[in-house]
Amino acid sequence: MTIELPRSPITHAPPRSRRRRRRRAPWIVLVVVAVALVALVAAVVVWSDVNLTGDPTGLAKVEVQPFGGTLEQVRAFGPDGRRIPLGVRHGSLTPRTFLSPGERVSVDAVVRRPGWVGWALGKERHEQWTVEAPVAAVDARWLTVRPGSKVRVSFDQPVSAAAYGTPGHLRSVSLDGAQSSVALPRRSATGRVVVAAAARPWERLGAPVSISWFPPAPVPVAVVQPKPGGQLAPASPIRLTFSVPVDKALGDAPPTISPHVSGRWRQTDDHTLLFTPSGFGARFASNLELNLGHRVAVTRASGSGLRTTSRLAWTVPAGSVLRLQQLLAQAGYLPVDWTPSGRPVARTPAAELQAAVAPPRGHFVWRYGNVPPELRSLWHEGSYDQITRGAVMMFQDTHRLTVDAIPGAQVWHALLEEAIAGKRRNDGYSYVYVHSSVPQSLTLWHNGQTILTSPGNTGIPAAPTKLGTFSVFEHIPVGTMSGTNPDGSHYNDPGIRWISYFNGGDAIHAFTRASFGTPQSLGCVELPLASAAKVWPYTPVGTLVTVER
């Protein structure tokens, strides 16, 4: 028997996947919205940047991205805080005043954000940058230039202005727009020039850079300054610039100078040696020779072509007579004073040496009134006259140098040392003139006054006192005078007092005579003892004595 149980009604639940989709739908919308907002914010952040970039013509360029807003204001300041006026066009910043290459500039910019961005991030954005004015650098400083070609200087970027020449004396180069290289005229086979350039039209010229050029040659070529074969001032440096590095041109041993000059060699760069004299440098009126130890090619004295040599030579000029007079006047050894027309010569060896060969302008004036006409007639500015000769002798004697009236190296060095130290002799100036016409007399003049006029005796007709102006060369308080009389006999007179020799054996001195005022000596100027004793202190070595009729 089969028993059937009653069936319960079956109830079907709704599908679970549909319920889940219904529950996820709002969240998906929210996520999408959130992602969109994040993406929008990210886009605003990414595309609202403000950058300072390079600019081919201006100082820099301000770039504002799409959501960045509008550039409201840009200001620039120099390193010292001064305001630099700017021109702004399409974000490009152009200074309206000249800047120096490499000058650091602070840039402040104000950007106004779009309204809907400004609501969230603020209405304005402030940015600060530091930028440098561009510097145009020379690609190569040592050039090989074939005969007939111009010297072409290349730069690492186009330049808008350039000039060339010597330091402090530059000549502008005409450029048709910005150029990456500049052609310079060439006047010799080798040469050296300084070049300055500016990358932008609103820049000053940069620091001058030395450029040297050389022709092709089988040995190293040297540009030598000063040019060999010419004159070299005592304190002038000697610069050697080679077409190859110094060690390849000369090896390890530095050049030698003859006669010896105090100073030192210094390698200023791979290709250049510089000798700088110390003290008072090379001797005046000397011939200087530089031995390189290796053969190099240098420009001929005519400036055309090259010659191969291992020795270079110059002539050191003598000191100027005019400058000698200026220095002696300043030191108190002349009856005149000297005043420069411009600024005084600096009290340094270099400045004084330069003035010694190239005297500054100025004027001389007599130190005293009542100057004897005989003395006035002896002064000749710029000429080695008797007054200057006597002053040199007095200077030599004062400084215990050989008294030869020659202004050699020792005299010049001592004079320059006194000029640098500002020393001055304060003993005044004396002058003696002798009248050989009867009645004969001697007059002593000192510092504008007649100190003494005394009768005296000059030489007899057989041994006359020579007319002219002479300098005292020996000054002794007592000595023995000897010689030959006109008749051939000899004399020897010991104990002669107050002797000042001025011409050979002729001297001013004391002598015992029954009378004075007529020719009685053998060429000397004899004075009474009291007069001679008064004259002697005023007649040191170098004092001028004029014998006239």
Find the CATH number of the domain harbouring 101.
Answer: 2.60.40
Give the pair of three-digit tokens for residue 46. Answer: 């990414």
Q: 443 with 541, same domain?
A: yes
Residue 14 has pLDDT above 60, yes or no: no
Separation between Cα atoms, residue 71 and residue 391, nearest integer Å: 80
Structural domain includes residue 93: yes
Residue 485, phi then psi, degrees to nearest 5: -75, 160
pLDDT by residue (tens digit) across 254-300?
899 999 999 999 999 999 999 999 988 999 989 999 999 999 999 87
Residue 247 has pLDDT above 90, yes or no: yes
Residue 22 has pLDDT above 80, yes or no: no
Structural domain includes residue 469: yes
Structural domain includes residue 304: yes
Residue 139: half-sphere exposure toward Cβ, Cα within 13 Å: 12
Q: 153 with 98, same domain?
A: no
43-49: long-range pairs with CB below 8 Å, 24+: 43/67, 44/117, 44/121, 48/113, 48/117, 48/121
Q: What is the pTM of this model?
A: 0.66
Q: Number of structural domains, the chain?
A: 5
Confidence of residue 25 (pLDDT cuts 50, 70, 90): low
pLDDT the model gives residue 30: 65
Residue 162, phi then psi, degrees to nearest 5: -155, 155
pLDDT the model gives residue 45: 52
Average pLDDT value over all residues in the chain:
89
Q: 282 with 353, same domain?
A: no
pLDDT by residue (tens digit) across 361-415?
999 999 998 999 999 999 999 999 999 999 999 999 999 999 999 999 899 999 9
Confidence of residue 125 (pLDDT cuts 50, 70, 90): confident
Percent of the chain exceeding pLDDT 70 equals 88
Q: 292 with 333, same domain?
A: no
Residue 20 has pLDDT above 70, yes or no: no
pLDDT the model gives residue 207: 94
Q: 67 with 176, same domain?
A: no
Residue 124 has pLDDT above 90, yes or no: no
Which residues, in sequence order, are CB contacts of 267 under 8 Å at separation 6+? Answer: 246, 273, 274
**Boundary-marking domain end, from 104, 132, 160:** 132
Residue 1 has pLDDT above 50, yes or no: no
pLDDT the model gives residue 301: 66
pLDDT the model gives residue 73: 87
pLDDT the model gives residue 5: 42
H or E element, residue 54: none
Structural domain includes residue 168: yes
Closest CA to 100 of 130, 79, 75, 86: 79
Average pLDDT over residues 199-215: 94
pLDDT by residue (tens digit) across 412-451?
999 999 999 999 999 999 999 999 999 999 999 999 999 9
Find the CATH number of the domain harbouring 243.
Answer: 2.60.40.3710
Q: 229 with 210, same domain?
A: no
C-alpha separations of 99 from 53, 61, 102, 219 in Å: 19, 17, 9, 44
Query: Domain range spanning residue 57?
Result: 50-132
How crowded is residue 176: how many other Cβ atoms within 10 Å of its Cβ? Answer: 5
Separation between Cα atoms, residue 178 and residue 199, nearest integer Å: 8
Structural domain includes residue 14: no
Q: What sign for the dihedral angle of Cα 358, 393, 523, 528?
A: positive
Structural domain includes residue 437: yes
Q: 436 with 518, same domain?
A: yes
Spacing of C-alpha 491 from chain mean position: 63
Structural domain includes residue 28: no
Calculated CA dihedral for residues 271, 277, 283, 289, nearest 10 degrees: -20
**Boundary-marking domain end, from 299, 316, 333:** 316
**Boundary-marking domain end, from 95, 113, 132:** 132
Q: 447 with 394, same domain?
A: no
pLDDT the model gives residue 186: 78
Give the pair of three-digit tokens for residue 343. Answer: 């600024």
